[in-house]
Amino acid sequence: MTGTIVYNKEISDGIFEMSLAAKEVAQTAKAGQFVMLYLDKPGLLLPRPISICFTEGDNIILVYKIAGEGTKYMSEMQTNNPIRLMGPLGNGFTVKESVKKAALIGGGIGTPPMVMLQKALNIKTDVYLGFYNKSILTEHFSDSNVYVATETGAEGTKGNVTDLLRERAADYDEMYACGPTAMLAAVAKFASERSIPLQVCLEERMACGLGSCVGCVVPTKDKPKYKKICCEGPVFYSDEVLWDE
């Protein structure tokens, strides 16, 4: 399908927010799912997987970081530009009515999926966000308790999200996280020590988004040992994942 760019603006150094009119995706998307964007430029053959931050009417909001030629090209796209996309893709977060006390943990560009998840949970949550120097998207968590950590100490607590978690050591019904693998492994250890169920949204390079290329796998304790992040994830329970491999 083809969507139309409503706006595409820089919200922090090298980080952009794009609103894309894509009614079919907006009406069916769930927190933790993603879209594949096809960039019609010579040399940019493979699509780019981008997590859905949230939906707004018939629009999907995507937040992405310039990490290479493809995302740099995306950042230069203008309002009303058409863009081909496929989605929503993947299995998102499982939202349970039984969860009354929850923690959302986002690391850097892993923060966007937490916005849509917080809306889906529809309860006041504790939100722990970790960044290098400057936070993003905190304004979307106004109904929650928000705790920010930065590596430089420029905002919030100096340190990382696991430092924040250990300071509070709260008892949650469920935890949810998205961010760099090292952060997710540390949060998984924290959750395991307290027997708290943790859902993690994994980040990985993808070529097709449909499971055909088998290029985005994660080692798990189940059979088959390797699962495809694009179609069997990107959300898994943390105790499924082999973090040491």
Q: Is the pLDDT of residue 40 over 90?
A: no
> Does the pLDDT at position 142 exceed 90?
no
Comparing C-alpha atoms, which of 131, 89, 140 is closest to residue 106?
Answer: 131
Q: What is the mean pLDDT of the chain?
A: 92
Q: Kindly tell me if the per-residue pLDDT of 214 is higher than 90.
A: no
- Which of 116, 104, 140 has its CA nearest to residue 55? 116
Burial class (CB in 10 A: 0-12, 13-18, 19+), 243: middle
Give the pLDDT of residue 207: 67
Q: How confident is the model at residue 245 (pLDDT cuts 50, 70, 90)?
A: low
Provide CB contacts within 8 A for 80, sequence distance 6+.
4, 5
State the pLDDT confidence band at 32, using cuts at 50, 70 and 90.
very high
pLDDT tens readout for residues 190-211: 999 999 999 999 987 766 766 6
Domains of the chain: 2-89 (2.40.30.10), 102-240 (3.40.50.80)
**Phi/psi class of residue 159: alpha, beta or left (left: φ > 0; alpha: ψ in -120 to 50)?**
left
H helices, E strands: number in the chain: 6, 15
Q: Is the pLDDT of residue 64 over 90?
A: yes
Mean pLDDT of 47-59: 95
Q: Is the pLDDT of residue 175 over 70?
A: yes
Q: State mean pLDDT over 233-243.
A: 93
Residue 102 tokens, joined: 């929850």
Q: pLDDT, tens digit, for every residue of 106-137?
A: 999 999 999 999 999 989 899 999 999 999 99
pLDDT at 43: 79
Share of the chain above pLDDT 90, in %: 76
Question: Where are any strands of DSSP class E within 13-134?
Answer: 15-21, 34-38, 48-56, 59-65, 82-89, 102-107, 126-131
